[in-house]
Structure formats: C-alpha cells, structure tokens
Structure 1
Amino acid sequence: MALKTCRIENTDITWIDLADPSQEEVHSVSSEYNLNSYTLLDSLDPDHLPKYEEHNDTHFLIIRLLHDEKQKMPSIQSLSSKIAVFFTDTFIITLHRSSLPLIEEVRGNYVDSGKIKTAAGVAIQIVTDALRTFEGPAIDLSNAIDYYESKLFLSKNIAPDMIEGIYYLKNKAGLYKKLLLLSNEVVSSIHALGEERPALRDARDLHTKLVLLYDQVLDDAHNLLNIYLSLSAQKTNDVMKLLTIFSVFFMPLTFIVGVYGMNFKYMPELRSPLGYPLTLLIMLVICFVIFFWFKRKKWL
C-alpha cells in the first residue's frame, strides 16, 4: 500500500492518494473526511464502470484509463484501470489498486508547479489525462483499418484470417467506445468555476473528439467486413460462373455421346463411313455456337 499526502501550493487543500490500500486505511480516511459508505464500496470495486455522484458537499467520480492489452478478446476490466476520486473545496482523495504514472504526472506537472490550485481542477486534470489514454489506441486502430483496407483492395489473394482480424479490431473498438460513452456522465457532471472552466471545456471537447474517432473506426470496420464478405461472395460467384460455362459446353456434347453410345442395331449412322467425322464436326459447331452466344450476351 502507498499513501501519499500533499498540500496544494498556497491553499489549504489536501490531496490524499491511496494506492492499493487496506480496509483499515480506507475506513480511517473515510471516517476522517466523512465519506459516504455506498460510494466507498463503489470505489473499492475494481470492476466498477465510470460514474459520477454527489453526496452532501462531496463529489465522487470513477474514471477508467486504458493500458496496453494484447489479448484478442479483451474485456473492459482487462484493458482498463479504475481511479476513484472524492473531492470537496478543502480536500481531494484518489483511490486506485496499483501505482499509476498518471497520478504522479498530475502531481508533478500541475500541482507542484502551482498550475492547479483547486481540488476540482485536480479532478478535471485526472479525468482529462485518463481520456487521453484513449487517443493512442484510436490511432492504432485507424492504422490497422488502413492496413486491412489496402490488403483488401490491392492484394490479389485475400488472406483467410483477415475477417478474423477485422472482427477482433471491431470488438476492441466497441469496448473502447462503450467506456467513453459511460464516461460521458463524469465529463458532463463536473462543475468548474473561474480558472478551471477552460480545462473543463478542453476535457469535454476531448471526450467528444474521441467518441467521434471511435465511431469512425467502428463504421470503417463494419464497412470492411461488408466489403470482405462481398468480395468473397463475388469470388465464389466467379468460380460458379466458370463451372457453369464448362457445364453448358459439355451438356449437348454429353447428350450426343450418350445417344450414339447406346449402339442400337438399326442406327444408320453407326455404319456410315462419315459418321465419326460428322459427329465431331457437329460437336465443334455446337461449341462455336455456344461460345459466340456467350460473347454476344457478354458472359465471357
């Protein structure tokens, strides 16, 4: 467990950061700052989704930030980490299960330098930096879409595992977007006054931009899946078309061979010296007629 306490410069605001705290330490901090018991239970749940609540004068929010996830079928819990934040005008408490660089960056870059002087400002910055963790995956997914698109349209042979890769990509983008949509309550519910209002507007603009980015990724993934299925169907149709053309050529020839293969005694053509070459000539003429008919119909 790591418990860090600092005071925002030139203010009476205390920031308490708890990383993987014990039950006793959580209840000690809760009793000292009169935290709501239900929100405290939510803050200790590692799988809790983003939310925002207000109890008396205490604001409570949960935000999730992304980290690298190599699984093909990740879950929301496996690809993101949770930060719970309690804050009022006089204190801010952050609670998370493991040490997070984001907390240290906010403290070093904004609190220790004096750029942020309110508890709400710290909460807004934590939310903003958590949202920024969605930018890198959005770019990676867009690049993956471009890769699959180029392979789909420029490659002569479509890889059989391509549809699997597009599906996994779509699934991951859907999870990211779900987290962003759940974070909308947090972004829209925080209030800020004075110097913190521009930072809050930036957080809301960033959230809107990210939702649009993932919407675009999902639309592109859906379109790629549809195009892949269409191209696969077209390839199947081309094969069927070729087989149909061969069968049309051979159906009348097979009929002729079948008739003359019966060897009845009173078939005059069987004893004719020109029977064999005439039959071959008729077969050849039939093939030419079928060929030119297909060409006229533009089926060849």
Structure 2
Amino acid sequence: MVRKLAEGAHLNYEWIDLLDPSEEDLQQVAQQYGLHEASVTDAMQADHIPKYERVKDYTFIILRIYSPDEHNDEADTVKELTNKITIFISQTYIITIHRKEWPVLERISSQLVKKGECKKSAHVLNEIVKAGLLTFDVPGTKLTKHIEHFEEHIFLKDRRSAILKGLYFMKRRVDVLRRVLLLSSDIVENIDPPGSGNAYTRDVRDLYIKQQSLFESLFENTNHLLNIYFNISAHKTNEIIRVLTIFSVFFLPLTFIAGIYGMNFNFMPELKWKQGYPGAMLLMVAVTLSIYAWFKRKKWL
C-alpha cells in the first residue's frame, strides 16, 4: 500500500510511506524518485542489518525497531525480534518502507508534520529514529525484570533445567538487540554529528547512549548470571561427588573384609574360631572409626 503522509503548500518536501509493498509498487516509486537499484535490493531484504549510506542526491537508511513475534516465545533472531524500516531521504522527499504496520508513523504525520512542527524532511527523520530507539525501552525493562527473577531462583530456590533454558533465550535476545543498537550507531552519528550543538538532534544521541548503556549492562549481567549458574551447579555436583566418595571410602575396607571372610576356604583358621564373627565385626568397627578420625583430622568432615 502506497500512501502520502506529508504534502501541501506549507511544506517543501513530501513523505511517501509504503506498507508491505509489492515489487511492482517498489519499482514504480524507485523509478519516480531515481532510487539506485542496489538500495532497492537492500530495501527488499527482510533481515538486513541497520545501515546508513549516501547515494547520489539522497541518503539511504535501514532502521530496525523492536517488534517481536508475539506467537513465538523463543524468538531470538534479528528478523523475529525487530521490524525493518527503510528510509530514503533528501531535501525534497522522504520515503519510508516497512512490512509490518507501525502506528508511530501516522502519529508523527498527524501530530507533528501536518501541524507544521516538522518543517524539513530531516526533522521527520529525527522523529522516526527517536521513536525507533524508544521501542527498545519496553524490552530493556522486561529483560531487567527477567534477570532479577533468574537471580532470585538461582541463589534462593531450586535450580532446574527450565531456568537454564530461560537464561539461554534471554541471553540471545539481549545479544540480538545489543547488536542492532550497535549497528545503528552510524545513523545516530550522521543525524547528530559530534560537536554539532544541535539541541533538536541531541535528544536522539542521548536516547541512543541510554539504550546502548542499558543493553551493554544487560549483556554483562546475563553472562555473569550464566557463569554463576554453572559455577553453583558445578559446586553442587562436587558436593554430591564428595559425599559419595566419603561413603565409598568407609565401605570399601568393610567390603574387603567381608569378601575375605566370605571365601569359605577349608584352611581358613578364623572360620572355626568361636569369636570369629564378633572379631570380624569389631575389626570393621575399628576400621570405620579409624577412617572417621583420619577424615576429621584432615578436616574433610
């Protein structure tokens, strides 16, 4: 679907929005505005990473916003977690292309563009990028709560395989969103160049720094939490092996004694002693007490 979100005598630019366009619609718009074939090819790739590129007399931008597949609880790829917004922008036009509906574009059009707040196409781009970065607020908050939940279960409650699975998918989501933000740095750097002093675009840079810092922290905390989980699990396993080893040390000599006197050879003198049985039992008790005393002296118990 092709629609115009900005036009009129009071504007010196037009805004064309393509929602889930067909290849024919895309080629028609590309021909009308002189878009490069390579840019159009990139615009059609659903899993393309964020990009900022100057081509001829326009700028080509690929922005990814957080838009997860709600029917897939294990979504952990760029395509499953984000939606691509392709932007072609010059002084006289701005073209946005996306496969999924994004109501924010209509809100920018009705509340800012049509009321004269966005006097240039660059202002529209600034609002789109800012709105795109804001979409990462919700997953950042959710992932922070998930980390707190897993920390509570790891340190205070039983550790189960479901926790490890949850930690794995959370780490994947954090890593994907962190990489998307990292790859979006070129877009922010060109919208708000260092030292520009433009208060209008400064909000975009500040928001980007905030989101990047949040997801860097989440990434480090998730890795730290996974390491702690494995260390605690390894410690628990070592404790189990330690207890089993102690039991085996106690019973190994007793089994040896029982095996010796269970061979029933005719010429074993102890078999005919009246005190043979209580003697063997006392020997076992003595061995057990000796092992226990040795363990206590070594502080293994």
In terms of mean alpha carbon deviation, does 222-231 or 66-75 score higher?
Answer: 66-75
| 1:92 and 2:94 correspond | yes
- What percent of counterpart residues are identical? 39
3-state SS, counterpart of residue 161 of structure 1: helix
Alpha-carbon distance in structure 2 between the residues aligned to 1:191 and 1:214:
21
* 1:112-161 C-alpha deviation (Å, 9 max, x unpaired): 33332211011011011111111211111111111111100001x21122
Provide the residue aligned with 1:49 in structure 2: 49
1:254 corresponds to: 255
Q: State how 1:1-300 maps to structure 2 within 5 Å.
A: 1-7=1-7, 10-69=10-69, 70-155=72-157, 157-190=158-191, 197-300=198-301
Using the TM superposition, give the Cα deviation of residue 283 of structure 1 relative to its aligned residue in structure 2, in angstroms.
1.4
Task: State the distance in 2 between where 1:9 and 1:145 align.
Answer: 52
TM-score by length of structure 2 reads 0.89
Structure 2: 5+ residue stretches without partners: none
For the Cα contact (< 8 Å) 2:12–2:120, is it kept in 1? Answer: no
Say what the alpha-carbon RMSD is for the aligned residues. Answer: 2.4
Give the TM-score normalised by the residue count of structure 1: 0.89
Tell me, in whole angstroms, the C-alpha distance in 2 between the residues paired with 1:122 and 1:168: 35
**Deviation digits for residues 162-184 of structure 1, max 9, x if unmatched?**
21111111111111112112211
- The alignment partner of 1:257 has SS state of helix
Assess, with a 3 A threshold, how the Cα gap between structure 1 residues 214 and 88 changes in structure 2: closer, same or farther.
same
Kept in 2, the 8 Å contact 1:83–1:95? The answer is yes
User: Aligned pairs, how many?
Assistant: 297
Q: How much has 1:23 moved relative to structure 2?
A: 4.3
Distance in 1 between the 2:231 and 2:256 partners? 37
Structure 2 distance, partners of 1:8, 1:291, is 93
- Deviation of 1:91 (Å): 2.3
C-alpha distance 249-97 of structure 1, shift in aligned 2 (>3 A):
closer
In 2, Cα distance between the equivalents of 1:139 and 1:9?
43
Which is further off, 23-32 or 48-57? Answer: 23-32
The worse-fitting range, judged by mean Cα deviation, of 266-275 and 133-142 is 266-275
Could you tell me how far 1:17 is from its partner in structure 2?
A: 2.0
CA contact (8 A) 2:5 2:106 kept: no
SS at match of 1:113: coil
